[in-house]
Structure 1
Amino acid sequence: MGSPEVNLLGWWRSRGSAARFDLFVRYTFYLSYVFLPPLLIINFAQEVGTAALVVLLATLVIYVVLSCRLVHVGIEHHLGRGPFPRRLLTAYLITTCAVLATGELTFPNPLPGKPDSPGDGISVIFLVLAITTLSAVLRPRYVALAAAAGGVWMYLTAPPGHALFITLMLQFLVVAFRSTLWMLAVVWELDRSREVRANLAVAEERLRFARDLHDVVGRNLSVVALKADLAAQLARRDRSSAAIDEMLEVRRIAHDSLDELRAVVSGYRTADLSVELAGARSLLASAGIDCRVIGEVDVSGEPAGALGWAVREGVTNVLRHSEAHTCTITLRGKVLTMSNDGASLTTFRFGSGLTGLHERVAALGGTVTAAPEAPNRFVLTVELP
């Protein structure tokens, strides 16, 4: 087992920045309760009797414990992790009023040579503790009102000069502790935002991977199914040589698909527009579909990649969802149009492939439209800015 110092250091390092700041804020409150009792002992040891001092210290210990508990649940409520401590707050306020009244009634008169009474000193100590604690529980305006009420109490019981100083000190405590709590809430919110951003990045990467996988597997499996069916028909007609050629082509496509899947997993896969256009001609021709390409490629980079994905998705849809005989691909600058004559005018909706294409193009500021047109055409248009 490691030493306590090593374990404590490891525990501290394992906590995030927000958790560390949370501990700092909490112990800022708690340490104020540690330093105030010794001040009370030093100030009142010579001013009150031994019995009164023991009672006062016992009361102070109970009050500090109650204050620590209220600070804890108050901060939890401030961070949205717990309910408002209504009953505990009520008991705390009653206790505070009782202690202040008892102190002033027990020690109402100043000692010889001193401007204020021991009761005034008791009021100062407990008011500082109370305002510190209430700063963790109440909203700023209510804490400020409580501090103002404490100032009024001091004006009624202590010399005016001392009362003014205590009033300003109580308001300063309100500003200091409420500002610290506000910063704590901001730090936790930033921490949650960072976590949400990380989760969104993971979700976006999963979505990108799903789109790539759909684009690769969807089209290639459609081609494999088409050529396997063609090979089966050739075999039935005793054209074994042609059937073998088709099955060898299926094997080639399967190998290409495997390479593309590896590229998708590696995260480096892109769609080359020129390659996709050549592949579209070849695949559609093998399916008995006449493919014409009008225009030339005059884009590069991400726009070319987006149009390449559009060609791939359009060819996949032609092979899987149409009975087309002709397909025309038109390129005009950064606008690509794919039209085929194998569509019906039934209800149309975006599938996962077109949705993924729309997301790709939208990321570049472009638009995607896909709709059937009379009498039997289907037109896919991708326009980049």
Structure 2
Amino acid sequence: MVQVGPAEVNLLGWWRSRGSAARFDLFVRYTFYLSYIFLPPLLIIGFANEVSTVALAVLVATVLAYTVISFRLVHQGLEYNLGRTEFPRRILTIHLLITAAILVAGQLAYPDPLPGKPDSPGDGISVIFLVLAVTTYSAVLRPRTLILLGLLGGAWMLLTAPPGHALFISLMLQFLVAAFRSTLWMLKIVWELDRSREVRANLAVAEERLRFARDLHDVVGRNLSAVALKADLAAKLASRDRSAAAIDEMLEVRQIAQDSLDELRAVVSGYRTADLTAELAGARSLLASAGIDCRVIGDVTFTGEPAGALGWAVREGVTNVLRHSEARTCTITLRGKVLTMSNDGASSSAFRFGSGLTGLHERVAALGGSVTATPEPPNRFVLTVELP
């Protein structure tokens, strides 16, 4: 049985705790960083025997120092391209000046080819630092600027090295630009997808909260209005020594409260729907209890989600009639999938599109329908819900 140590467990847990975008981010960063580890030794070994030991030591030290500043520039460039920091203008300028100085110093130190060889050690130094520079700038600059720098690097090699070598180096630089920029482009897309997924999840949570608030408003709003109405009616009956009728009203209050509890449980469970036929019957009964003459014109000829949406419309309309008007008449007209509720006793100056109507609009809009709520002179209010 293979035993795993604490270090391996911590490393594995750290890796698993990172999302896919964060893992790909690490892959891209280490693709850049590993280039500084593997490319310079391979290129230095190629002409190590062509320079003195002192010159080789100076070259290795220069490469190490150059790698350090390149690491820093790559990090800031990646953060800039991901929109997390400002453009690293200062360190980029320093890096460009250092690169130019190294290229010129290499050619001045070794201007001529060695005997029996087509190129000089200065050409090899140019290749090393041009490759490192293009790798670094790929994390910072735009593709057009990178292509231009690659062409300038090829032109530099054309001035100092044989044409065949210069052409090869120029093509290699352009290949590095394409490879690293495409990787960086994919990294940006992965992070954007990750942010989109997070935004989508947050929107789903927000939508569910709105749904819950809308359902809670619809359920509690009308039922509490009914409880207040019934309780007030029972109090008036009791004051007139009509205790039997008052008891009946209070029993209805208890029934409404019990029904409200059941509906609240259904809302929490997320399965509550409004039945249009039941809502129409409930509207007629509740408005009659409030002394409002309610007429229902038309019949329910469909079921399913559209009927449920119109059921919520009836519920919201009745709530508004009880809360915000002194109505004496209310007419509910149903023609196909168009519901119209009209009542008198409304005040146009007090009209506002509240949370209940907003929630109803959201419900109906999800089905491709529309909601209009308008006051009409002199004191009427008309609610129209139309489904496709």
- Tell me what 2:55 maps to: 52
1:216-255 to 2 correspondence within 5 Å?
A: 216-255=219-258
* Post-superposition offset of 1:372: 2.0
User: Which of 316, 323, 328 does residue 326 from structure 2 map onto?
Assistant: 323
What aligned pairs does 1:2-151 form with structure 2 within 5 A after superposition? Answer: 2-151=5-154
Name the CA distance, whole Å, in 2 between partners of 1:285 and 1:304: 23
Which portions of structure 1, spanning 4 or more consecutive aligned residues, are displaced by more than 4 angstroms? none
* TM-score, scaled to structure 1: 0.97
The residue aligned with 1:336 is: 339
Partner deviation per Cα, 1:264-309 (whole Å, 9 max, x = no partner): 0100000000110111111111111121111110121111001100
- Alignment of 1:376 with 2:383, yes or no, is no
Whole-angstrom CA distance in 2 between matches of 1:7 and 1:14 = 10
SS of residue in 1 equivalent to 2:49: coil
Residue deviations 1:63-82 (CA, integer Å, cap 9, x gap): 11111110000010011101
Shift of 1:44: 2.8
Equivalent position to 1:164, from 164, 167, 187? 167
Letter in 1 for 2:288: A
Partner of residue 275, structure 1: 278
Give, in whole Å, the separation in 1 of the partners of 2:201 and 2:348: 43
Give the gaps of 5 or more residues in structure 1.
none
Match of 1:305 in 2: 308
Question: Residues of 2 paired with 1:272 and 1:201: CA distance?
Answer: 26
Does the Cα contact within 8 Å between 1:67 and 1:133 map onto a contact in 2? Answer: yes
Q: Is the 8 A contact 1:44 1:53 kept in 2?
A: no
The whole-number CA distance in structure 2 between the counterparts of 1:335 and 1:230 is 34
Displacement of 1:35 in angstroms is: 0.6
CA distance in 2, matches of 1:334, 1:97: 76
Give the distance between the partners of 2:180 and 2:40, measured in 1 at CA. Answer: 20
Q: 1:153 aligns with which of 153, 156, 174?
A: 156
> Which SS does the other structure have where 1:46 is aligned?
helix
The answer for the alignment partner of 2:357 in structure 1 is 354
Quick one: percent identity of the two aligned structures?
82
Q: Number of matched residues?
A: 385
The alpha-carbon deviation at position 325 of structure 1 amounts to 1.6
The SS at the match of 2:382 is strand
User: Which amino acid in structure 1 is aligned with residue 185 of structure 2?
Assistant: W
1:173 matched to 2:176? The reply is yes
The separation in 2 between residues aligned to 1:40 and 1:293, in whole angstroms, is: 90
Q: Offset at 1:324?
A: 1.3
Q: Secondary structure at the match of 2:333?
A: strand
Question: 2:292 is aligned with what amino acid?
Answer: I
Using the TM superposition, name which of 2-11 and 83-92 deviates more.
2-11
Unaligned runs of 5+ in 2: none
Q: Taking structure 1 as reference, are residues 183 and 359 closer, same or farther at Cα in structure 2, changes over 3 Å only? A: same
SS state at 1:95 partner: helix
Alpha-carbon offset, residue 347 of structure 1: 5.0
Distance in 2 of aligned mates of 1:370 and 1:159: 82
For 1:42 and 1:346, how far apart are their aligned partners in 2?
88
Describe how 1:202-213 pairs up with structure 2 within 5 A.
202-213=205-216
Q: What's the CA shift for 1:216?
A: 0.5
Distance 2:349 2:102 in 1: 82
> Normalising by structure 2, what TM-score?
0.96
Residues of 1 paired with 2:318 and 2:216: CA distance?
16
Q: CA separation in 1, counterparts of 2:87 and 2:342?
A: 64
Q: What SS does the corresponding residue of 1:310 show, helix, strand or coil?
A: helix
Structure 2: distance between partners of 1:150 and 1:370? 70
